[in-house]
Chain A
Amino acid sequence: MGVVSMERRFLLLIFLMTWPLMAQSDISTESIQNSYSFLDKDAQVNTLLELLFKFDTDENARSLFKELLPKDDSEVHLSLCKACYERKQQHLIEVIFALIPNDYKNAALEAIKNTGYQYIIPRPGTLGSNEVYTMKLDNAEVYFFMDLEKYELAKKMVENTSRMCHSICAGEFPLTTIEVSPACTIFEEPIGYTRDLQPIYFDFEGRNAIEDYTHKVAAKIKNLLDLNMLCVSRQMSLVVSHDAMRFHRDQLPIQYEFLNKKGCSFPKCWLAQDLTLMDWDMSEGTLSGTLMEESSSKDRFYFFLQPGEVTTNLTLDPPLYPEDGSPPVYPGAKTLPFHSATAPVDLYGGKSAGSSKGKRISNVVRGVVLDDEVQALRKRAIPLSLNQAKVSHTDDKGILFQYPSGMSRKDFPNPIAISVEIDSLLRMPPSEEVEILRGEVLNQENLLNGLGKLLCMNFDGHSLDYYKLIKRSTGFSNIDSLGINIPENSFVVMRNLSQLPINYEYYPLTDKFSNSLPWIQFYQLGPNSLLICDGKNIQQLGLTPLEEIFFRNAVWDADSEEVPLLSNNFSTHLELFVINPPQESSR
């Protein structure tokens, strides 16, 4: 970017100072564009940057940016993209891409490659992912979609949060603790009437904001997914801490009441919930989201949100009709698998923005949609498959589950009968906040034999490296960053030595964080199980953050009426048996 002359600097300054006023006043877009055109190109780019970095927080900036961004100037596009990388605001690149023709987007992508920055393809459900994706979780179908308009709606809702009145409300069962909610979501009805019978709303501004959002989201769902949302209702939650967070399943009283009134002649339909997660001041290096438990494998899926982002998960669940053929009755069957929202938590094992983690907002728009519309949507949505464990072999020793990713897990009916004799555990340099201990196994042959018997495999002539990993802190600790030498052709067996209090479940391992899917998978691995994978697969895993909420037994958490009681502070202790193939010379 060249040097900006004094005159141009002055003009830029005037423009930046006055654009908010211009945007709010009756000054026409044409006049604004005229004054903008007085600026030289560098100043124009600077102006655009100023507007782009306010895109998430200022409605006027959003509309001006959209107006002023040249749609056919690759040079400007690249300058803006580079600035987004420099300021770690990569998500804003998708705003630019959403506003320019595809050819220019491709040109910009090509140019980004040459700058050395890495472009991350947006995952389903976030801005920049233009298709509709779907996956199935128990009875529910989940759809991921997003466009710029929906993104802007969410950003406006976050902006409106500071204009709304809020109050403390007792969370609905099972959320026994209190939380802060917008008053307009609690008091939907007028609190009184004027003498001429005009309703008086407690928080008319907030009520208008949330109603406007709800209607526009329903229209967007119609527009993008061809689903007509009937009997629309809404809920907004400010997720400021984990206090009101519990595992639960949803109940939709308003939609059930609607179905009840419609009676049995109502055509086949689905209960729809558009769950939009919105960043609200989330600190760099954090994640928040919804953790869902799949009922057959018990693995958990964390549908996450990163700073700056907006994500949509639209879930469709079949309503439950009574067996006698009568209309459904409130409260109806609970929908969705067990799930819990989480406030922002650390993403990285070794790094953090500190104690201040920020907040997020959940906005749910609920309704009823007809089955024929869902069928049409299902046909055109791109399916995403889960890495779901399936039983591959059962014998008297246990059950072997196979994951599509190549890993397998063997569950034994009793505690695993192998003992490990080690001289001592030497401390290796810790990494990702994980203590890495290396042990010298005293009788390798015995141990290999024992493992071979348990897994019905033969490890004759193999050698074994033994490690113990101890994780006590938050954040996802990627195994490939631990500095442990695990050859690709080795065979790795993992045993969980952690001791969790009663009412907690064992999820020591997760997928390594990547942005390709809308979720991170949490793998269940109890003390009576072994996880088996090769040296390549293990590099795709991480150790689960020690957030207590991630480990709660979902049923217990949902049924417990009390605030969780004190429990022992727990940690992850994982044994790694790295079994190396026989060396050439020893064959």
Chain B
Amino acid sequence: MKITSFIYPYFLIGSLLFGQEDMNIHYLKMENEGCKENIAILCNLKSFINDCYAEKAKLLTAVNDWIQDKDLSTTELKPIFEELIEGMKTLSSIPHPNALIVGRKNDLQEISQKFTSSTSKENLHTVFSDLTNQENLGYTVAVIAKDPSSLSILLEKIRENHTQGERVIEYVHALKHLNIEMIGALYQVLQESEKDSILESMLLLFPESKSIRSFITSQLPSEDASLHAALAKKFIESKKDTQLHILLGLLSPSQIAEIQENLKEEGIDYTSALPGRIGSQSTYCANLSKGQIFFYMDANKFHAIRNLVEGVEKDMILSIDGTPKSKVQIVPESIKHPNPISYDHNNTPIYSDTTGKGLLAEYADESLGLIFRLLGYTLRDPQVHLDLVLNQDPLIHPKQTKIGQMFHEYAMVDWQMPDGTISGLIVEDGSLGDRFIMTLFPRDASCLSIVGQNDLRLSYFSPIDYQSTITSGSTKGKNMMIQLCGGISDDHVKALETDTIPLEVNKSVVMVDERLYSNGLSLKKKPQDFRLSSELMRWKDVKENVDIFTFDQKKHVNYAARIADHIGLTNVQLNAMYRLVKRTTGLSQLSKIDLNIPENSTILMINRSIHPKGYDYFNLAEDQTDLGRPWIQLYRCHPDMWIKMDKECFDRLALTPIEEFLFRTTLGENKQENDLKLKIVTEMDVLIFTPLTL
């Protein structure tokens, strides 16, 4: 196709009007001798490109493509860039710019590169004058200003137009989109009084932006101790635990000690990071009946995990994987196709998703390094597997290989989890059958590894409500699970018990007809011939989304006495008897149910839930995160066992969220069921015994 340059504008108008956009691109990509005439024509494009936003974007791309092939002087380029800037300004004023800009980001970046390399400072100043008030200031800055010195102009504009309070918001807005060099440059030209605010903002954005993570990882430790302490105090006061823990995670032990000293002097207390989270200082170890679990995390690992989240959101190609699970799942393509899909004529491999593969390899390198540093392992044939946990459909047993000694690392990361949700990895303790939910909270990333145990039963799940009384609604968010596994030698397993801090697990001792936990809770087998109460109940109240019913106490005196006798309680009387009925999600804390239990009471709970076949009885839970353990324990309490405890123990317990998957006998099984089952409901009788008063 050969079209002389003078008919180009008509060709362009025609193609815009009749939707033959591709023709523009073809034309612009052609070798063209009359480029100067075309420049003049391009300068008049403004009126044409106002036709609709989609064409504008295409045209900008097309012009950019065309410029790439030309060797034009600055004078020649200037008018073109003016048009481009004009185009970009109108782009940013369309009602929904983000969808478009995200799609065209690379094109615009390239255009801006050309722009900054060939235009003057004066021009930049003009551009900023127009753009500082635009909604997407941050983005615009990122795509246009590649020249660090131009930032001072931007800052000047921000200072001119905004109060000090508004400035931080503006900076934060801009920071999200800057690369590391730009952030560094911006930081250098900030006034001293602005620095702590900007660092605070950067720590808030730490999980979201790779550039900020890279910058702050290198910059923050070199700042002075007073700034660290001030930031820590701010986060403690505003209850921003995650940011506090990130701050601590970035500093050296001596710097942390200094902060702690400062806080101690001021009488400020704070919650330490849970094991396996950024900010937790050590490697922790929990011994289950069937194996050991290690918890660890450092700033670099956190950084690598967050990079994967960003990669999935922005760069990775996803595909649908129907096998071997019984339900289809969305997975990153880089997982599905670890090998090249083809080779080009130079025999260079072509990957369907090179970026995704690169990100995973980067993650694996970082993780393997950490595993070696902390635990001394070098993994044979390491493999990374990334699962996007979007809903409960792919609820699966993580992949475990049974050949030789294996090392399995599970890193979980929040992915848009709303406040008030929780997700995690469920680990079933083999011999006793209790389950432990290794927790993941919003804005969190956690890491644990299991060594040498191939038969631990595990499963993971997408976010659910954490508490029973408040909810994020139908929007629950997502999380990601990154598994890293590899072979290890037997020697390593034996040598592994060094330098870790043990975490206490509330285990039970099994005796005849009884199980006794270290926290005092005991389960005793109920006599076979004992008939449970079937008296009418009266509705009393609802607390923690649990319906509370009362029984007629007088009618149950003898009944209670028989029970007390069987569990070995003497000189007690029945103080009250309730039925608790739970049908909802979230943990219902028993301490908030308000049963007016006297301090010296002994409480007996009888599980009256009737679960369908294939479900177990994990109706009682204990959130142990406040004890510095990163898990929630789910007690297996079959209706055949009566549960005895004191008030202190009762107040620590909760009724388990009614999520069907938590109660499945086999973890991780998610077969398509054709037979519907009755929904799980927890019904629990509570008998309160107090010492007999004469």
Contact = CB atoms under 8 A, between A and B. Distances in A.
Of the candidates B312, B474, B673, the one having the most CB atoms from chain A within 10 angstroms of its own CB is B474
B318 A165 contact: yes
A462 interface: no
Contacts of A59: none
Interface string B474-510: 1111100000000000000000000000000000000
Interface string B369-400: 00000000000000000000011110100000
B468 A356 contact: no
Contacts of A453: none
Interface in A159-206: 161-162, 164-170, 172-173, 177-178, 180, 183, 186-187, 189-190, 193, 197, 199
A468 B547 CA distance: 13
B651 interface: no
A257 B678 contact: no
Interface string B85-111: 000000000011011001100000000
Nearest to B317: A165
A183 B317 contact: yes
Contacts of A169: 99, 102
Contacts of A168: 312-314, 316, 318
A331 B95 contact: yes
Contact of A354 (B313, B418, B471, B660): B660
B253 interface: no
B659 interface: yes
B319 A566 contact: no
B318 A351 contact: no
B313 A178 contact: yes
A549 interface: yes
A443 interface: no
B98 A569 contact: no
A281 interface: yes
Given A283-B673, A563-B418, A162 B581 contact: no
B392 A356 contact: yes
A473 B583 contact: yes
Contacts of A357: 391-393
B660 A355 contact: yes
B679 A352 contact: yes
Interface in B240-261: none
A178 B416 contact: yes
Interface in A321-361: 330-331, 342-343, 348, 350-359
A261 B352 CA distance: 40
Interface stretch (B162-170, B218-226, B276-284, B532-540): B532-540
Nearest to A202: B317
B429 interface: no
Of the candidates A166, A238, A245, A358, the one having the most CB atoms from chain B within 10 angstroms of its own CB is A166
Contacts of B322: 162
B207 interface: no
A240 B474 CA distance: 12
A35 to B, nearest CB: 29
A187 B103 contact: yes
Given A180-B318, A566-B419, A566-B472, A433 B679 contact: yes
A458 B476 CA distance: 50
Contacts of B672: 281, 283-284, 353
Interface stretch (A391-399, A422-430, A525-533): A422-430
Nearest to A285: B676
A101 interface: no
B319 A571 contact: no
Interface in B55-105: 58, 95-96, 98-99, 102-103
Contact of A563 (B470, B475, B547): B475
Contacts of A257: 52, 54
Given A172-B99, A357-B392, A427 B549 contact: yes
Nearest to B536: A426
Given A359-B393, A435-B539, A568-B470, A243 B477 contact: yes
A552 B29 CA distance: 51
Contact of B330 (A180, A331, A566): A180
B630 interface: no
Contacts of B52: 253, 257, 330
A177 B475 CA distance: 9
A566 B474 contact: no
B572 interface: no
Given A193-B29, A284-B674, A162 B99 contact: no
A254 B54 CA distance: 9
A53 to B, nearest CB: 12
B22 interface: yes
A95 B584 CA distance: 40
A435 B581 CA distance: 9
Given A166-B318, A351-B676, A177 B416 contact: yes
Interface string A212-224: 0000000000000
A162 B328 contact: yes
A568 to B, nearest CB: 6
Contact of A549 (B96, B473, B478): B473
A426 B540 CA distance: 10
Contacts of A93: none
A136 interface: no
A355 B395 contact: yes
Contact of B320 (A162, A170, A172, A435): A162
Interface string B532-562: 0000111100100101010000000000000
Given A261-B17, A356-B392, A566 B418 contact: yes
B136 interface: no
A353 B676 contact: yes
A243 B581 contact: no
A143 B670 CA distance: 37
B452 interface: no
A209 to B, nearest CB: 13
Contacts of B395: 355-356
B333 interface: yes
B137 interface: no
Contacts of B418: 563-564, 566
B475 A351 contact: no
Contacts of B547: 435, 470
B96 A172 contact: yes
Of the candidates A190, A358, A472, A567, the one having the most CB atoms from chain B within 10 angstroms of its own CB is A472
Nearest to A424: B538
Of the candidates A178, A427, A468, the one having the most CB atoms from chain B within 10 angstroms of its own CB is A427
A173 B96 contact: yes
A352 B679 CA distance: 6
A374 interface: no
Given A178-B313, A281-B393, A352-B679, 16 more contacts: A164-B320, A165-B352, A167-B318, A172-B99, A173-B95, A189-B21, A241-B462, A243-B477, A245-B474, A257-B52, A350-B678, A355-B392, A359-B328, A472-B583, A473-B583, A565-B419
17 contacts: A164-B319, A164-B320, A165-B318, A165-B319, A166-B330, A180-B330, A189-B22, A241-B391, A243-B390, A243-B478, A281-B328, A285-B676, A351-B676, A355-B661, A425-B539, A563-B418, A565-B419
Interface of B: 17, 21-22, 25-26, 29, 52, 54, 58, 95-96, 98-99, 102-103, 312-314, 316-322, 327-328, 330, 333, 352, 390-393, 395, 416, 418-420, 461-462, 465, 468-478, 536-539, 542, 545, 547, 549, 581, 583-584, 586, 658-661, 664, 670, 672-679, 681
3 nearest A-B pairs in the assembled complex, by CB-CB distance: A548-B473, A242-B474, A354-B660
